[in-house]
Amino acid sequence: MANRVSTYLSYHEATKSNTAIKYGIHNVPNSDQWKAMQTLGTEVFDRVREHFGKPLYVSSFFRSEALNGRIGGSKTSQHCKGQAIDIDADVFGGVTNAEIFWYIKEHLDFDQLIFEFGDDANPDWVHVSYVSPEKNRKRCLKAEKDRRGKTSYRVID
């Protein structure tokens, strides 16, 4: 594999996982996953990075099925296909997660965009996926937890 997924995203950032390290999980994409990662990196991550001109923290990108299972991820997670990334711009400052969310929603092509938890003003992080121009659904959701801690998703127009 090359050292870079895209101009602003390294292979290390895209595959790093403390859980994978702790449990000795092999978190390496195959060629199809790698191609999907490069497309998402170029079509979404790099464009967001260029627009804001600020570093962006990647909290999760590629997850092998073993890693996804260990962390309790959805069995249909697009992270396992290399098609989803979680961005937390608040880590470095200069731009908020809300600004990232609304920029992607209004200006970029995507499959699914999720305002992950937080409050009404700012999500804790932004989940965005990309499949292909002809298959992207432009689906916007807000993730929320109920009183019992169960996650639900509400459509955002």
Q: Torsions phi, psi of 139, nearest 5?
A: -90, 125
**Cα 95 to Cα 103: distance, rounded to the nearest angstrom:** 11
| Structure tokens that stand for 47 in this block | 């464009």
Q: What is the mean pLDDT of residues 116-142?
A: 96
Mean pLDDT for all residues in the chain = 94
Query: 42-62: per-residue pLDDT in tens?
Result: 999 999 999 999 999 999 999
**pLDDT-derived band at 3, boundaries 50, 70, 90:** confident
Domain of residue 9, CATH code: 3.30.1380.10
- One-letter amino acid identity for 30? N
In the predicted structure, residue 90 carries a pLDDT above the cut 70: yes
pLDDT at 81: 97
Closest listed residue to residue 92, CA positions, set 46, 56, 118 = 56
In the predicted structure, residue 1 carries a pLDDT above the cut 90: no
Domain count, the chain: 1
- 3-state SS class at 74: coil
pLDDT at 115: 98
| Structure tokens that stand for 41 in this block | 């990196």
Query: 11-39: per-residue pLDDT in tens?
Result: 999 999 999 999 999 999 999 999 999 99
- 3-state SS class at 142: strand
In the predicted structure, residue 157 carries a pLDDT above the cut 60: yes
Q: HEC string of 89-114?
A: HHHCCCCCHHHHHHHHHHHCCCCEEE
Q: Is residue 86 packed enough to be buried (19+ CB in 10 Å), middle (13-18) or exposed (0-12)?
A: middle
**Structural domain span for residue 111:** 4-155
| Structure tokens that stand for 151 in this block | 């996650």
